Structure 1
Amino acid sequence: MTKGVFVCVLWILVFCTPCAGKKTTDIPKDTIHYNSRDTVTAYGPNSMVRNVKQGRNGTILIAAWKGIFRYDGKSFTNITSKISSPSFWDVLEDRNGNLWLATRDSGVYYYDGKSFQQFTTRQGLANNFVCTIYEDRAGIIWLGTGDGVSRYDGKSFRNFSTKDGLSNNSITTILEDKTGKLWFGTRGEPCFYDGKTFTVFRNKAGKAFTNVWSIIEDKKGAIWLGDNDGLWRYDGSSYTLVSKRGASAMIEDKKGNIWTTGSIDPPNGKVWALSRYDQSSLYNAKPTVTEVMSIEGPGMLCGLLEATDGSIWFGALGSTSGVFRYDGKTITDFRKNKIRNNG
Structure 2
Amino acid sequence: MKYVPLYALVLLVAVYSSSKALTKTDLPKDTIKAESKQLSTAYGPSHITRTIKQDRKGNIWIATFGGVYRYDGKSFTNVTSQVSSAHFFSVLEDRKGNFWFSTVGEGVYYYDGKSFQQFTTKEGLAHNVVTSIYEDKAGTIWFGTGGGASRYDGKSFRNYKMNEGLNLTPDERLLLKDNNDVNSIIEDKTGKFWFATRGHAYLYDGKTFTVLTHEGTPFINVRTIIEDKNGAIWLGGLYGLWRYDGSRFTNFTERGVAYVYEDKKGNIWTSSLTNWGWSLFRYDGETLSTKNPTVTEVELESDDTKTMLFGILEATDGRIWFGSGGAYRYDGKSITDFKKKEIN
TM-score band by shorter chain is: 0.7 to 0.9
1:18 corresponds to which residue? none
User: TM-score if structure 2 supplies the norm length?
Assistant: 0.85
Instruction: Map 1:1-343; keep pairs closer than 5 Å.
Output: 25-28=25-28, 29-34=30-35, 36-162=36-162, 168-203=179-214, 205-265=215-275, 270-294=276-300, 299-316=307-324, 321-337=325-341
C-alpha contact (below 8 Å) 2:224/2:236 kept by paired residues: yes
**Sequence identity (%):** 58
Which structure 1 segments of 5+ residues have no match? 1-21
- Number of matched pairs: 308
Using a 3 Å threshold, how does the CA distance of structure 1 residues 110 and 74 change in structure 2: closer, same or farther? same
Partner of 1:3: none
State the superposition RMSD in angstroms.
1.9
TM-score, normalization by structure 1: 0.85
Q: Report how far residue 86 of structure 1 moved.
A: 2.6
Indicate the SS of the match to 1:37. Answer: coil
Give the C-alpha shift of residue 292 in structure 1.
Answer: 0.8
* SS of 1:133 mapped into structure 2: strand
Task: Tell me the secondary structure at the aligned position of residue 25 of structure 2.
Answer: coil
Q: Name the amino acid aligned to 1:304.
A: I
Q: State the 1:153 CA deviation.
A: 0.1
Moved more, 125-134 or 232-241: 232-241
Q: Is the 8 A contact 2:102 2:108 kept in 1?
A: yes
Q: Deviations over 1:252-306 (max 9, x none)?
A: 11111110112135xxxx4110110111221222221111134668611111111
Inter-partner Cα distance in structure 2 for 1:296 and 1:221: 36
Secondary structure, counterpart of 2:329 in structure 1? strand
Give the conservation status (yes or no) of the 8 Å contact 1:262–1:302.
Answer: no
Q: Distance in 1 between matches of 2:235 and 2:104?
A: 24
Give 1:245 shift: 3.0
Distance in structure 1 (CA, Å) of the matches to 2:120 and 2:86? 16
Give the unaligned 5+ runs of structure 2. 1-21, 167-175
Query: Comparing 238-247 with 133-142, which one deviates more in the overlay?
Result: 238-247
Q: Which has the higher contact order (CA 8 A, sep 6+)?
A: 2
Of 133-142 and 303-312, the range deviating more from structure 2: 303-312
CA contact (8 A) 2:43 2:342 kept: no
> For the structure 1 residues 165 and 98, does the alpha-carbon distance in structure 2 shift closer, same or farther, using more than 3 Å as the test?
farther
Whole-Å separation in 2 of the counterparts to 1:229 and 1:122: 36
